[in-house]
Amino acid sequence: MDQVKTGALIKQLRLNCGLTQKQLAESLNVSDKAVSKWECGNGCPDVSLLSELSEIFGTDVQTLLSGRIDKNESEKGNMKKLKFYVCRECGNIITATSETAVTCCGNKLAPLEPVKAEGTDMLSTEDLGGEWFISSDHEMKKEHYISFVAYVTDSSAMVFKQYPEWNLQVTLPFYKSGRLVWYCTQHGLFYQDIRRTSGIQKE
């Protein structure tokens, strides 16, 4: 183990997960000074902690030991890069954190490219002081509706299936910021970013 490379990787993975040194230390029952020491390359975690570290970061022990992330592994760090596949035949929704071969109903599926929602295409978001309430006036008929809404943060993703004749209303656990991704059966995949401070983030 190259403690300098491993330390730099621990810091990168910790930041990707949105954790402070203190939070990571508490999860491992060590001091935040120990975490700081690892990240500065002045020491390395005890072997007994590597398995727990890999679970926290969603990686594997070998990656921590090597001190580097391969292409597919690097894409796991930010769930906002999650790829969505939708089968036109059955409506099946498939997600992947990196490039992969996906088939459904005998057809090879390509990852959908999300378009940033603007104006009336945007979903309505309301901060309920502990939850996000998401709604829309989008048409919800069999021939034209939003089939799913996903809420994606750097480290997690939740998918909410929608059906024709339903009013689109979704209540989400509260996070300071995240990304909404949804699929319209006629117009494709859209996204918008939301933040607590301003409701809908303008970019």
**Helix/strand/coil (H/E/C) assignment for every residue in 134-169:** EECCCCCECCECEEEEEEECCCCEEEEECCCCCCCE
Give the pLDDT band (50/70/90) at residue 74.
very low
pLDDT of residue 203: 38
User: Is pLDDT of 171 > 50?
Assistant: yes
99 vs 75, more confident: 99
Kindly report the average pLDDT of the chain as a whole number.
85
- Please count the other Cβ atoms lying within 10 Å of the Cβ belonging to residue 130: 7
User: Is pLDDT of 99 > 80?
Assistant: no
**Tokens 């490039």 found at:** 99
- The pTM for the full model equals 0.59
In CATH, the architecture of 3-76 is Orthogonal Bundle (1.10)
Do the first three CATH levels of 3-76 and 113-200 match, i.e. the same topology? no
pLDDT of residue 84: 94
- Token couple for 16: 């990707």
pLDDT of residue 202: 37
pLDDT of residue 77: 46
Look up the CATH number of domain 113-200. Answer: 2.60.40.730
pLDDT of residue 73: 47
User: Is pLDDT of 72 > 70?
Assistant: no
The structural domains of the chain, with segments of one domain joined by +, span 3-76, 113-200
Range in 50-59, 72-81, 119-128, 138-147 the model is least confident about: 72-81
Q: Are 8 and 67 in contact (CB under 8 A)?
A: yes
Q: Are 65 and 4 in contact (CB under 8 A)?
A: no
Distance CA 46, CA 133 (A): 44
Q: Are 162 and 148 in contact (CB under 8 A)?
A: yes
